[in-house]
């Protein structure tokens, strides 16, 4: 059965890619403009680090690694799991889960993988280049970086599941849930070194963006096993928690009668 | 003019329903202020350039700059995009007021509602955060408000333009990203553009973003009537340019829809 | 195959809604109350009832979409809420206003995804797809993107999507809504033929009496969430409205219509007493189903 699930999700992702490439001009424009927009952002941060050299011990290279990780994880989210966030939130609010409930495959991932934003390719390229360009990256720690990347994606998924599932309880929340997700994404883009200790505790527990913007760079700079284990167990804990939260909410699902077709960018 | 006032009025009423959205934005704004407050305390020592601007001035500067971003209505460009994509705009063109002005004025209405609200709350927050200390030229607040209003008009026009760009680009989102990033970097939302290298300062002030961002916000610590006047003239200039752009786009839209037969 | 397609016992569902203030207790709406029924495999059953009677809620509970607040159910011998995935293989669902097709992509792609979801082998998929698309006359539509299809064409493709995995039980919720006469006829005869040839159980909710009459043998009337009436289509037609419609055509081409109740009037007496001359044709009809259902609903209200 398990391999059938995997076959289905690969097929679903393939469909998604095809769907987002159906409007070719829009596809390429999104990729291109995302690259430009990331470029502008990097100029800004470059200027800042040029001015200050280091921010509380973090150099531009450290920052590049963090941003690279952040953007790559985000791009994987927007390419393959874009269904969390506003799409899922709207489905829950408008009672649109029927079709997903009637398909004999995991519903949470079926929804999550049902949308894709081609702009993610622009982010993916930017993020990947940034990681490669950073001094923190070398071939001996490829494996570690991969683990960080997976953890960061899980972190985004956790936040996405949580804010989408809140719609089972709160009515009229769907637009806010997307916005809250983006707040978390935006905040995960600031260098982890600027936070005070209190803020760090918050960011490594209830507002879990520290798992993206603080721990990976600190671990790469000076490896510490407790930090590493905390990163992995912490993220797994939050991730499983958010899945349980979703399934708990699913029991409250109210089906609606909206006319809709599939596919969302 | 009366219909437009009615539009602004009705979008005011709509804002009451939007309070959760405004609340979330406010929270984000305050978090951002905290982050940058901490950031500036970390970087201000040991750097000659940053020593020119004291922490109180800096954080007020940042707040004014962020106000513009956080007070404007979200999704205006997206609404116009959807109107064009679904073709609904053809039906709405039958009404006596142009669709685009409806969007523009309702957007402006919500801007007018949010700006003072966000300003009061975040100003109080800053007073508490900085122990009651005010920035150097706090008296300039009325002038700043006037200029923020102009900037709001500019940004609303800009969003309308981005919405209309759907006609050529199939999609309004890409240009919107560019707008956001340009506002951040060229508008000096990280820190005043006087700290930028010369070439980037020149680019920033050659675009409207340097003026609506840095141009307006620096008046909170460095106000002179000339500077305020110069900023105002620049923003007005860019408003006129955008009015022309939007007019051209809209005429094009009308023709295109007429050709398609609605 | 299970002997019973659907068994429910005291099935109930309530919705809670906060209307006034956070601390006031939520108002409870009972959508379905203590519904007990059995449907044998191979039966074609219509759920009828006025808007808001609880038909859709019942169907959605039986298809595992909604959790019940009380009672139990077995669909194809499976508890819908405990073993959703197994249930999905047994049932097919068509909601008239829902789409499972991808907007910008050819229909074939969407169908292939579903085939993978239901673990069909490539040979099975090909055979089934050919069979269905031929009988629904959509073979030439399969390579067109969904956005280019008309509503009727899309609906036919939706039905293929719901039947691709050869389900044993078919739930149809307003399947012909918005379709033109031609498409409706095609769809009805297709469903009838599917159910007769393969022994599929059909549960239909519709406001279109044509659907009910053509497809179903048994009718369940639901109102305020309870089962009011459980009868066969034939009995419904004869028993619940004894009135007959008589149409008499004269030789000169003119005709007359009469309502006539055999329980209170004597038909021979009626025919004798009437002053007919030169009758060329006489038909006695049962009232249309629409009329019967309207009477039933009215009785329910009063």
Q: Nearest CA of chain B to the CA of A47: how many Å?
A: 7
Give residue B184's pLDDT band: very low, low, confident or very high (50, 70, 90): confident
pLDDT in tens, A39-83: 998 988 888 888 888 888 888 999 999 999 999 999 999 999 998
Q: Is C130 exposed, middle or buried (0-12, 13-18, 19+ CB in 10 A)?
A: exposed
Q: Residue C25: exposed, middle, or buried by beta-carbon count in 10 A (0-12, 13-18, 19+)? A: exposed
Which residues constitute the domain of residue C248?
A: 242-285
Of C197, C194, C154, residue with least CA distance to C175: C154
Same domain, C275 and C215: no
Contacts of B200 in chain A (CB under 8 A): 43, 47
A125/A35 Cα distance (integer angstroms)? 8
Which residues 6+ apart lie within 8 Å of B96 measured at CB? none
What is the number of residues in chain C?
302
Record: contact C93-A260, CB cut-off 8 A = no
- Ordered by start, the domain boundaries in chain B are 2-260
Q: What is the per-residue DSSP string for B137-196?
A: TGGGHHHHHHHHHHHHHHHHHHHHHHHHTHHHHS-SHHHHHHHHHHHHHHTTSSS-GGGS
Closest CA to B147 of B124, B99, B115, B102: B115
With tokens 């108002």, the residue in question is C27
- pLDDT at A265 (0 to 100): 42
Asked whether residue C233 falls in the same domain as residue C253, the answer is: no
Q: What is the pLDDT of residue A258?
A: 47
Cβ contact (<8 Å) for A179 and B24? yes
**Residue C189 Cα distances to B144, C133, C182, C282, angstroms:** 73, 14, 11, 30
Find the CB nearest A98 among C65, C114, C146.
Answer: C65
pLDDT per position as a tens digit, A110-141: 999 988 888 899 999 999 999 999 988 888 88
Tokens for A36, please give them: 């430009």
Chain C interface includes A248 (CB < 8 A): no
**With contacts defined as CB-CB under 8 Å, which chain A residues touch B190?**
44, 48
Q: Residues A93, A176: contact at Cβ < 8 Å?
A: no
Q: Which residues in chain A touch residue B28, judged by CB atoms under 8 angstroms apart?
A: 183, 186
Residue B217 confidence (pLDDT): 93
A104–C89 C-beta distance less than 8 A: yes
Distance CA(C207)–CA(C184), nearest Å, equals 13
CB contact under 8 A, A44 and B190: yes
**CA torsion, points C102, C103, C107, C109, in degrees to nearest 10?**
-40
Write the pLDDT tens digit of every residue in C212-266: 888 888 999 888 888 888 888 888 877 776 777 888 887 777 887 777 777 777 7
Q: Are residues C135 and C261 in the same domain?
A: no
For the question of an ipTM over 0.95, the answer is: no
The DSSP call for residue B98 is -
Is C217 part of a structural domain of the chain? yes
Domain map of chain A by residue range?
A: 7-250
The verdict on C208 and C138 lying in the same domain is: yes
Q: Are residues C93 and C206 in the same domain?
A: yes
Q: Please compute the mean of the pLDDT values over residues B244-253 and round it to a whole number.
A: 88
Kind and range of the H or E run holding C241: none
- Measure the CA–CA gap between C46 and B41, rounded to whole angstroms: 73
Cβ contact C260:C270 at 8 Å:
yes
Are C180 and C50 found together in one domain?
yes
* Partners of residue C48 on adjacent β-strands: C221
Q: How far apart are the first and last CA of chain B?
A: 28
Tell me: do C222 and C251 sit in the same domain. no
pLDDT in tens, chain C (302 residues): 578 899 999 999 888 776 555 566 677 888 888 999 999 998 999 988 888 788 888 888 898 888 888 899 999 999 988 888 889 999 998 876 667 888 888 999 999 999 999 998 999 999 999 999 988 888 898 999 888 888 888 888 888 998 999 999 999 888 887 778 888 888 888 888 888 888 899 999 888 888 888 888 899 988 888 888 888 888 887 777 677 788 888 777 788 777 777 777 777 776 776 666 677 787 877 777 777 778 777 776 66
Q: How far is CA A138 from CA A43, A117, A183, A192, C183, in A?
A: 24, 30, 31, 21, 64
Nearest CA among C177, C192, C184 for reference residue C44 = C192
User: Do C163 and C280 reside in the same domain of the chain?
Assistant: no
- Tokens at B150, concatenated: 């102009």
- Cross-chain CB nearest to B177 (options A25, A34, A55): A34
pLDDT tens, residue by residue, B128-168:
988 888 888 888 899 999 999 999 999 999 999 999 888 87
Q: How far is B118 from B29, CA to CA, in rounded Å?
A: 9
Q: Which residues of chain A are within 8 Å of residue B178 when distances are taken between CB atoms?
A: 33, 36-37, 40
For residue C100, give the nearest of A99, A105, A251 by CB distance: A99
Q: Which helix (H) or strand (E) holds C86?
A: helix C84-90
Does residue C24 belong to any structural domain of this protein?
Answer: no
**B near C: at least 3 beta-carbon pairs less than 8 Å apart:** no
Asked, for residue C196, whether it belongs to a domain, the answer is: yes
List chains adjacent to chain A, taking adjacency as at least 3 C-beta pairs closer than 8 Å: B, C
CA angle C75, C79, C82 (to 5 degrees): 145
C292 within domain boundaries = no
Residues of chain A under the 70 pLDDT cut: 1-3, 256-265
- Kindly state whether residues C177 and C221 are assigned to the same domain: yes
pLDDT > 50? residue B261: no
Please tell me the total count of domains within chain C: 2
C87 in the same domain as C205: yes
What is the pLDDT averaged over residues B195-203?
A: 89
Residue A161, pLDDT score: 94
C159, C175: one domain: yes
């Amino acid at each position: 059965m398990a391999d059938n699930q995997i076959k289905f999700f690969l097929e679903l992702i393939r469909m998604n890619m095809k769907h987002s490439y159906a409007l070719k001009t829009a596809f390429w424009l999104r990729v291109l403009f995302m690259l430009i927009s990331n470029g502008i952002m990097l100029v800004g941060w470059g200027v800042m680090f040029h001015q200050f050299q280091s921010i509380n011990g973090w150099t531009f290279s450290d920052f590049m690694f963090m941003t690279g990780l952040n953007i790559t994880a985000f791009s994987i989210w927007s390419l393959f799991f874009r269904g969390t966030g506003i799409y899922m939130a709207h489905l829950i609010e408008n009672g649109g889960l029927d079709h997903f409930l009637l398909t004999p495959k995991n519903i949470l991932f079926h929804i999550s993988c049902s949308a894709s934003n081609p702009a993610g390719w622009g982010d993916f390229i930017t993020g990947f280049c940034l990681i490669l360009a950073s001094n923190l990256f070398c071939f001996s720690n490829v494996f570690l970086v991969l683990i960080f990347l997976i953890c960061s994606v899980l972190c985004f998924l956790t936040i996405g599941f949580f804010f989408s599932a809140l719609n089972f309880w709160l009515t009229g929340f769907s637009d806010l849930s997307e916005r809250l997700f983006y707040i978390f994404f935006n905040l995960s883009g600031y260098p982890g070194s600027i936070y005070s200790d209190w803020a760090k505790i918050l960011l490594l527990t209830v507002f879990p963006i520290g798992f993206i913007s603080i721990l990976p760079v600190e671990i790469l700079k000076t490896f510490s096993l407790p930090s590493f284990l905390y990163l992995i167990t912490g993220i797994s804990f939050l991730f499983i928690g958010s899945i349980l939260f979703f399934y708990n909410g699913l029991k409250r699902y109210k089906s609606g009668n909206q006319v809709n077709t599939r596919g969302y960018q | 003019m009366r219909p437009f006032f009615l539009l602004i009025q009705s979008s005011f009423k709509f804002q009451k329903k939007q309070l959760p959205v405004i609340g979330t934005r406010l929270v984000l704004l305050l978090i951002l202020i905290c982050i940058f407050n901490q950031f500036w305390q970390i970087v201000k020592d040991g750097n000659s350039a940053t020593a020119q601007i004291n922490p109180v001035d800096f954080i007020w500067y940042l707040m004014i700059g962020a106000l513009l971003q956080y007070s404007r209505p979200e999704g205006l460009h997206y609404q116009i995009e959807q109107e064009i994509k679904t073709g609904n705009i053809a039906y709405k063109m039958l009404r006596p007021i142009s669709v685009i002005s409806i969007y523009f004025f309702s957007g402006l209405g919500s801007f007018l509602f949010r700006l003072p609200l966000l300003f009061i709350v975040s100003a109080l927050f800053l007073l508490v955060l900085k122990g009651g200390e005010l920035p150097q030229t706090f008296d300039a607040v009325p002038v700043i408000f006037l200029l923020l209003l102009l900037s709001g008009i500019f940004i609303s026009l800009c969003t309308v333009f981005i919405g209309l760009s759907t006609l050529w680009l199939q999609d309004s989102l890409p240009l919107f990203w560019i707008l956001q990033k340009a506002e951040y970097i060229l508008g000096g939302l990280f820190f005043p553009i006087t700290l930028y290298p010369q070439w980037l300062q020149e680019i920033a002030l050659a675009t409207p973003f340097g003026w609506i961002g840095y141009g307006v916000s620096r008046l909170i610590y460095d106000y002179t009537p000339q500077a305020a006047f110069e900023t105002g003239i620049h923003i007005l200039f860019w408003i006129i340019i955008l009015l022309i752009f939007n007019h051209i786009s809209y005429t094009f839209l009308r023709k295109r829809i007429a050709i398609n037969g609605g | 195959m299970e002997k019973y397609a659907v068994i429910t016992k005291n099935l109930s569902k309530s919705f809670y809604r906060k209307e006034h203030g956070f601390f006031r207790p939520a108002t409870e709406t009972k959508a379905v109350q203590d519904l007990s029924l059995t449907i044998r495999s191979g039966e074609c059953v219509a759920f009828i009832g006025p808007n808001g009677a609880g038909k859709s809620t019942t169907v959605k509970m039986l298809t595992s979409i909604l959790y019940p607040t009380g009672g139990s159910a077995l669909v194809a011998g499976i508890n819908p809420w405990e073993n959703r995935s197994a249930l999905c293989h047994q049932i097919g669902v068509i909601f008239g206003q829902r789409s499972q097709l991808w907007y910008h992509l050819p229909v074939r792609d969407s169908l292939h995804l579903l085939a993978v979801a239901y673990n069909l082998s490539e040979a099975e998929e090909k055979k089934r797809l050919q069979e269905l698309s031929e009988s629904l006359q959509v073979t030439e539509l399969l390579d067109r993107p969904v956005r280019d299809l008309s509503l009727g064409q899309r609906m036919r493709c939706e039905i293929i999507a719901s039947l691709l995995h050869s389900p044993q039980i078919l739930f149809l919720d307003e399947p012909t809504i918005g379709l033109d006469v031609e498409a409706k006829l095609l769809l009805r005869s297709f469903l009838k033929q599917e159910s007769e040839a393969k022994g599929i159980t059909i549960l239909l909710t519709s406001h279109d009496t044509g659907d009910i009459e053509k497809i179903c043998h048994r009718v369940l009337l639901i109102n305020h969430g309870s089962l009011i009436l459980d009868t066969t289509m034939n009995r419904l037609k004869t028993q619940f409205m004894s009135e007959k419609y008589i149409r008499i055509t004269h030789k000169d081409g003119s005709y007359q219509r009469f309502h006539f109740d055999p329980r209170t009037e004597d038909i021979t007496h009626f025919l004798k007493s009437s002053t007919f001359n030169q009758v060329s044709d006489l038909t006695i009809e049962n009232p249309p189903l629409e009329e019967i259902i309207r009477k039933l609903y009215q009785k329910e209200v009063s």
